[in-house]
């Protein structure tokens, strides 16, 4: 597969130290993707690259600490929707919230910071999760990509079962031909991977491997 350089974008989802082993919300083997992501970023295949960055205030509603009687990874109802309670993570300005220092971020033209509203979580790079009024406010990313002529997205990053999944599903819903580079993602809960795979396929997202792109490189 050879992505059209003028019509495709590489989308790097939440590649941050807090999602790596040893981080505050460690994703199993999250650091295994770094080498492959780096080689994709520097391959020349994607002139347009965008990134998302989970970016929470210390009092963020998704942090279990703010919900008495609940532990991290419990699920509560928030504005009528299920909300997983997470350990504190990606707190604005902390080292765990930085874009991972081993990657060449100078190649990325836009960084979408999400989850900054203390009342509202945001898994997808395109839209927040639900606001108190039931809406899912946009981040503007779809408009940016469309204005740049993008029709096709290639996603990698963390976590496969949370922010990559939500970003991919929203990308497909926004009308982009959306691919997840499966081997350049890792899950918070790998036992749910079959379900994630099925959900993505049902949403019209294509699952590929990094080698499918490499083979096409000049």
Nearest alpha-carbon partner for 58 in 17, 115, 133? 115
Are residues 3 and 72 in contact, defined by beta-carbon separation less than 8 angstroms?
A: no
Q: Which one-letter DSSP state was computed for residue 37? A: H
Whether 156 is a known active-site residue: answer no
**Near Zn ion by CB under 5 A, which window of 39-47, 53-61, 102-110, 145-153?**
53-61
Convert residues 3-42 into a mask of x (bound to Zn ion by CB under 5 A) and - (unbound).
----------------------------------------
Please give the Cα distance from 13 to 27 (Å, whole number): 13
CA distances from residue 32 to 21, 35, 191, 196 in whole angstroms, order as listed: 10, 7, 18, 19
SS3 172: helix
Least CB distance from residue 122 to ligand VGL, whole Å? Answer: 8
Residue 163 bears catalytic tag: yes
- Tell me which of 114, 120, 121, 156 is the catalytic residue: 114
Radius of gyration of the chain (CA): 16
Q: Considering CB under 5 A, how many residues would be counted as binding Zn ion? A: 2
Residues 150-189 that bind ligand VGL (CB under 6 A): 158-159, 162-163
Decide if residue 54 touches Zn ion (CB under 5 A).
yes
Q: Which spans of this chain sit near ligand VGL (rule: CB under 6 A)? A: 14, 19, 25, 54, 86, 158-159, 162-163
Which residues are annotated as catalytic? 14, 114, 163
Contacting residues toward Zn ion, per CB under 5 A: 54, 115
């Amino acid at each position: 597969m050879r992505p059209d350089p003028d019509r495709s974008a590489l989308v790097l989802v939440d590649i941050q130290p807090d999602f790596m082993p040893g981080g505050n919300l460690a994703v199993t083997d999250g650091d295994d993707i770094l080498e492959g992501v780096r080689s994709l970023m520097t391959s020349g295949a994607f002139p347009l690259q965008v990134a998302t960055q989970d970016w929470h205030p210390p009092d963020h509603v998704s942090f279990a600490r703010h919900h008495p009687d609940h532990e991290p990874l419990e699920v509560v109802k928030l504005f009528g929707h299920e909300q997983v309670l997470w350990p504190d993570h990606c707190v604005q300005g902390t080292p765990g919230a930085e874009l991972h220092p081993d990657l060449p971020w100078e190649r990325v033209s836009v960084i979408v910071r999400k989850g900054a509203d203390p009342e509202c979580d945001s898994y997808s790079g395109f839209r927040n999760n639900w606001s108190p009024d039931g809406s899912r406010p946009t981040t503007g990313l779809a408009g940016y990509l469309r204005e740049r002529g993008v029709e096709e997205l290639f996603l990698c990053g963390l976590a496969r079962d949370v922010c990559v999944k939500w970003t991919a599903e929203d990308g497909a819903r926004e009308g982009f031909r959306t691919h997840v580079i499966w081997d350049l993602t890792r899950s918070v809960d790998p036992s749910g991977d079959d379900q994630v795979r099925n959900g993505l396929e049902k949403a019209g997202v294509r699952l590929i491997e990094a080698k499918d792109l490499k083979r096409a490189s000049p």
